A and B are shown apart, each in its own frame.
Chain A
Amino acid sequence: MTSLNTHSDPVILEMRSITKEFPGVKALADVNLRVKAGEIHAICGENGAGKSTLMKVLSGVYPYGTYTGDIVYQNEVQQFKDIRASEHAGIVIIHQELALIPELSITENIFLGNEPTKRGVIDWAEARTRTTELLARVGLREDPDTPIKEIGVGKQQLVEIAKSLNKSVKLLILDEPTAALNESDSQHLLDLMLGLKGRGITSIIISHKLNEIEQIADEITIIRDGKSIETLNVKEDGVDEDRIIKGMVGRTLESRFPDHEPKIGEVLFEVKDWNVGHPQIQDRLVCKNSSFFVRRGEIVGFAGLMGAGRTELARSVFGRSYGRFISGHIYKEGKELQLRSVKQAIDAGLGYVTEDRKSLGLNLLDDIKATTVSANLRKISKHFVVDANKEYSVAEEYRKSLRTKTPSVEEGVAKLSGGNQQKVVLAKWMFTDPDVLILDEPTRGIDVGAKYEIYGIIQRLANQGKAVIVISSELPELLGLSDRIYTIFEGAITGVLNKDEASQESLMKLMTSSRKTASPSGDHPELAELPGNKD
């Protein structure tokens, strides 16, 4: 179907006054979205603002009839009844969590459900040839027979895009495409999007990373509380991050970090010559001779590309919950500790807030109160019997002090938004009253407003004299929050910078060690060799 519109700015998609109601909640109220053909259009908004609901309406997850308003796509009102219908029309959504099958090869994944056949038998030769072409188009140099589980997240993302190209996509929707990618993978993906734009493919991108949006988007539509607030033209309106944030939260955030006057004391926690082996691969070290210390009241950042060994270091220190311990010493208040299990680590006053809330941090079947007390049941039990009253009041206390948004602490944690889930996880660790708290990506997937609150909580904990370690992929976050920052590269600590001497550039240099930073325009650097592509 070719566009009948010969206007200079043909509109490929127009969503007109879309309203979507759930009983008791208006998720979308009169939302308008106009996407011009061949542009990159960003949708920004806080979590729960309605971005995903809007995309679900567009892609037919919420079929025609369950919403009001019109979807005009390629000058026709569309009535998608399911995802297949929208894909047939050339609209493809790629979700943050990829829909690839780890055990199957790249070819098999790309042609899954769409296998080329010859007299009813799959024509693998054909499939492989086409895969090679598609991979070339997305700039992925990889054998088409490689199983998906053997390539990194960044490359998997590219396979997803190749898969969508195979479906002759006209409108590509990417939901948080770079959330799980390291800097260079992200850059490659953004370059690819620009390349696709050059080939006339329109993209819609949902992202919390405002710098990326600023970099590649032509237009930005901001959604707040289920309403479309404004559409900005990046070039004409001279949009920058602060402008986007202002639109998202409805006010200017004077500062993205709460004011904080650090009260730093003596060294509280120290790790020396820490060596840990990979859990499966013999002879491979995930932590190499790492040494670091944290002082009382200090917030220490750990910067590194994804897979550099930040999480591995934190988890191996936290009761050897990752990898094979080889050698090293842990000291707290000058005394050496032997932490052989998570239980010993908790008892010794350590806490670790996991990076992946859903698969490592929470039991999604539990309610808020059970989660809050789950790491310190002893404190609310007598003779191994849990005191349900204490449990309730403890959870209630944290709900109030952390301002968790929920009707009651008996609500299931699965029902909470990302920011509120993270508050519950923080409450759980605060209740263990640790002296040393390690936070691994504490604000991932959390919206701007909740981030600010979480930063405040972290600073409060430091002010109480705790030693706080923050691991983050977002350098601005580390720079804004930490008093001192260690950099990690390939399992080794490559440097440490004080707050005043650290900048994104200086950190990035140390995070990539002797290696040059991947050049943005570069000819697709071999990302797989970076340790960034774990799992």
Chain B
Amino acid sequence: MNALKKLFGGNTRQFGMIFALVALIVFFEIFTEGRTLTSGNVINLFNGNSYILILAIGMVLVIIAGHIDLSVGSVAAFVGVCVALFIRDWGLPWYVGVLLGLLLGVAIGAWHGFWVAYVGIPAFIVTLSGMLIFRGANQFVGKSNTIPVPTDFQYIGSGYLPEVGPQTGYNNLTVLLGLAAVAYVIYSEIRSRRNAKALGADVPEAWVMVLKLVLICGAILYATYLFATGRPGTSFPIPGLILAVLILIYGFISSKTVIGRHIYAVGGNRHAAELSGVQSKKVNFLVMMNMSILAGLAGMIFVGRSTASGPFDGVGWELDAIAAVFIGGAAVTGGVGTVIGSIIGGLVMAVLNNGLQLLGVGADLTQMIKGLVLLIAVAFDVYNKTAGKRSVIGMLLKNFGRSSEVKADETTQTKEVISRGI
């Protein structure tokens, strides 16, 4: 267990989620008699969930900052229908449509951000209102009709990496992408290890690193193999590619940049952040705005995939995205969460959905199971936290065997401990 912990950087939450994801995949692979890990199914899984995962990226930032966004489904639908109309009625090329869609996301996000950040209305209220407004706007603008989009626009929602270069029996671009990912993972792991060493920080033993790299690279190569050997005409899907780029960008922003730090700071303790010079209003505004931009993007991808915009696009997406974020370890109170965690959380839900479908479980039972999974995942988290907060015993037991731990200061803890028998 300890070795496993080391393998995943000692982050039990993340480790738990990865473990759950792998276990789920193995479970379904066995019980669907190998129908889970086929090229067709994996490609399908990515295609059908990429827009939820894109929403989860924006949502985790919103939730880290201590807010919530209930409007994403409606915003996605509204942007989708507008873009479909722009292209159909104004005859714009697809890329201008996409650009206008993103700008529309900026405008809607500015609207939400203004009320949340500068007027100080709780995001729950603002976005609940946005949910109604933009759902209505979608049906008003589209007159509750389906509006088809041309095939070149559909590429962003249902396209694949093209076949180029020599005939290898694999999709060359997909293979290159996979190899690049492997190279990057190895390079960054070695570099961070070297840096840590140079600074005199603790580094895990070499075998841990090698094992970790072998596992990660193995997973990437296997996925590459699945994507590269799909039926003719399919390969790594374009929405998946967009998603991967977004994960890289937002993962980087949230963990490595000044604005990322500020988002965590505002969510963790707004007053302390403000007194450290963080402009919390600006942070809140940007976070809300970013969410609507990503919602617009997700809406367009969905329209591309389903070849038309409809009046009920995006219903319930906000809940899927929020569930993904909380399964991925974010805290309702803000300040905690990661982009990659939310993606894993989203994948857990996606695999569950897909596997249950393959097993022929009905939509009714699937929903019940998903609901329970959400509850159990968060309960596990809360249990872990209360064990740490409520009693020193629980906390120390959790870290049993790590005696180098500094004992928490007694006086600081007293107050949280007792609710005085009320």
CB within 8 Å of A: which of B364-422? 392-393, 396-397, 400-415, 417-422
With A and B bound together, what is the CA distance between A381 and B199 in angstroms?
A: 17
Q: Are A362 and B257 closer than 8 Å at their CB atoms?
A: no
Closest chain-A Cβ to B137's Cβ sits at a distance in Å of 35
Are B272 and A363 closer than 8 Å at their CB atoms?
A: yes
Question: Of B26-34, B128-136, B258-266, which stretch is located at the interface?
Answer: B258-266
Residues 275-293 of chain B: 1 if any A CB is under 8 Å from the residue's CB, otherwise 0?
1111100000000000000
Please give, as numbers and ranges, the residues of chain B lying within 8 Å of A87 by CB-CB distance.
Answer: 421
Whose C-beta in chain A lies nearest to the C-beta of B334?
A: A365
Q: Name the residue in A56, A62, A87, A97 with the highest tally of chain B Cβ atoms < 10 Å from its Cβ.
A: A56
Do A374 and B256 form a contact, CB below 8 Å, given A342-B275, A361-B275?
A: no
Q: How large is the interface on A (under 10, 10 to 19, 20 to 34, 35 or more residues)?
A: 35 or more
Closest to B397 in A: A23
Q: CB < 8 Å: which of B276, B336, B401, B410 contacts A342?
A: B276
Contact B410 A48 (CB under 8 A): yes
B422 partner, pick from A22, A99, A366, A385, beta carbons under 8 A: A99
Does A522 belong to the interface (CB within 8 Å)? no
Q: Are A386 and B199 in contact (CB under 8 A)?
A: no
Which residues of A are found within 8 Å of B205, using beta-carbon distances?
none
- Enumerate chain B residues within 8 angstroms of A418, measured Cβ to Cβ: 409, 411-412
Determine the chain A residues whose CB is within 8 A of the CB of B58 once the complex forms.
none
Q: When the two chains form their complex, are residues B411 and A48 in contact, meaning their CB atoms are under 8 A apart?
A: yes
Q: Is A175 an interface residue (CB 8 A)?
A: yes
- Is B273 an interface residue, CB under 8 A from the partner? yes
Q: Across the interface, do A364 and B414 meet the contact criterion of CB distance under 8 Å?
A: no
Query: B121-176: which residues lie under 8 A (CB-CB) from chain A?
Result: none
A202 to B: closest C-beta gap in Å: 20
In contact, A23 and B396 (Cβ under 8 angstroms) = yes
Docked Cα-Cα span, A359 to B421, in Å, equals 25
Checking B269, B397, B404 against A362 with a beta-carbon cut-off of 8 angstroms, the contacting residue is: B269
A237 to B: closest C-beta gap in Å: 26
User: Do A22 and B420 touch (CB < 8 A)?
Assistant: no
> Chain A: which residue is nearest B390 at the CB level?
A61
Do B403 and A416 touch across chains, with their CB atoms under 8 A apart?
no
> Do A407 and B404 touch (CB < 8 A)?
yes
* A417 CB within 8 Å of chain B: yes
Interchain CA distance A341-B419 in the complex, whole Å: 38
B418 touches A93 (CB 8 A): yes
A321 x B407 contact (CB < 8 A): no
* B contact residues around A93 at 8 Å (CB): 418, 420
Q: Does A168 contact B (CB under 8 A)?
A: no
Q: Are B420 and A352 in contact (CB under 8 A)?
A: no
Q: A385-B256, A417-B409 are in contact. Are A354 and B275 (CB under 8 A)?
A: yes
Closest chain A residue, CB of each to CB of B389: A414
Residues of B within 8 Å of A445, CB to CB, are: 411
Q: Any chain B CB within 8 A of the CB of A377?
A: yes
Chain B residues, CB < 8 A from A361: 272, 275
Interface string of B199-226 (1 = CB under 8 A from A): 1111000000000000000000000000
Residues of B within 8 A of A61 (CB): 417-418
Q: Within the complex, which residue of B195, B200, B258 is in contact with A378, where a contact is CB–CB below 8 Å?
A: B258
Q: Is B5 an interface residue (CB 8 A)?
A: no
Among A116-124, A389-397, A525-533, which stretch is in contact with chain B?
A: A389-397
A161 CA to B414 CA in the complex, in Å?
A: 18
Residues of A within 8 A of B195 (CB): 388-389
- Tell me if A494 counts as interface (CB < 8 A to partner B): no
Q: Is the pair B411, A375 in contact by a Cβ cutoff of 8 Å? A: no
**Can you list, as one digit per residue, whether each of A317-361 has a CB less than 8 Å from chain B (1) or not (0)?**
011010000000000000000000111011000001010000111
Cβ contact within 8 Å between A415 and B258: no
Taken residue by residue from 79 to 112, chain A's Cβ proximity to chain B (1 for < 8 Å, 0 otherwise) reads as 0001110010000010111010000000000001
Cβ of A249 to closest chain B Cβ, rounded Å: 17
A25 to B198, CA, bound (A): 32
Please tell me the size bucket of the interface on B: 35 or more
Query: B421: which of A25, A113, A175 is its contact (CB, 8 Å)?
Result: A113
Contact between chains at B199 and A393 (CB < 8 Å) = yes
State which residues 13-32 of B face A: CB under 8 Å: none
Question: Which residues 71-112 of B have a CB within 8 angstroms of A?
Answer: none
Q: How far is the CA of A366 from the CA of B336 in the complex (A)?
A: 10
Question: Nearest Cβ in chain B — how far from A500, in angstroms?
Answer: 35
Q: Is the CB of B335 within 8 A of A321?
A: no
Chain B residues near A97 (CB, 8 Å)?
A: 415
Least distance between A97 CB and chain B CB atoms (Å): 4
C-alpha spacing A321/B273, complex, angstroms: 12
Does A17 have its Cβ within 8 Å of any Cβ on chain B? Answer: no
A416 neighbours in B (Cβ, 8 Å): 406, 409, 412
With A56-B414, A96-B414, A363-B269 given, is the CB distance from A24 to B275 under 8 Å?
no
Give A8-65 interface residues, CB cut-off 8 Å to B: 22-25, 27, 47-48, 50-53, 56, 59, 61-62
A23 touches B275 (CB 8 A): no
Complex: chain A residue closest to B195, CB-CB:
A389
Query: Which residues of chain B are within 8 angstroms of A393 by Cβ–Cβ distance?
Result: 199
Judging by beta carbons under 8 Å apart, are A83 and B271 in contact? no
- In the complex, whether B189 has a CB less than 8 A from a CB of chain A is no
Q: Is the CB of A24 within 8 A of B409?
A: no
Decide: A24 near B396, CB < 8 A? Known: A61-B417, A175-B414, A377-B261. yes
Interface centre among B403, B404, B421 (most CB of A within 10 A): B421
Verify B265–A47 contact, CB threshold 8 A: no
* Residue contact A386 to B261, C-beta cutoff 8 Å: yes
A360 and B257 contact, Cβ closer than 8 Å, known pairs A23-B397, A93-B418: no
With contacts A22-B392, A408-B202 taken as known, whether A363 is within 8 angstroms of B421 at the C-beta atoms is: no
Enumerate the 5 nearest inter-chain pairs by beta-carbon distance, A residue then B residue, closest first: A417-B409, A24-B403, A363-B268, A375-B276, A97-B415
Besides A23-B396, A418-B409, 14 more A-B contacts (Cβ < 8 Å) are A47-B410, A52-B410, A93-B418, A95-B414, A95-B420, A113-B422, A343-B277, A346-B276, A359-B272, A363-B268, A385-B256, A411-B406, A415-B406, A416-B412
A interface residues with partner B (beta carbon < 8 Å): 22-25, 27, 47-48, 50-53, 56, 59, 61-62, 66, 82-84, 87, 93, 95-97, 99, 112-113, 175, 315, 318-319, 321, 341-343, 345-346, 352, 354, 359-366, 370, 374-375, 377-378, 381, 384-386, 388-389, 392-393, 396, 405-408, 410-411, 414-418, 420-421, 428, 445
- What are 29 A-B pairs with beta-carbon distances under 8 A? A22-B392, A22-B396, A23-B400, A25-B407, A47-B409, A48-B411, A50-B410, A53-B410, A56-B414, A82-B421, A83-B420, A96-B414, A315-B275, A346-B277, A352-B275, A360-B271, A365-B268, A366-B265, A374-B265, A377-B261, A381-B257, A384-B258, A386-B257, A388-B195, A396-B200, A410-B201, A416-B409, A418-B411, A421-B412
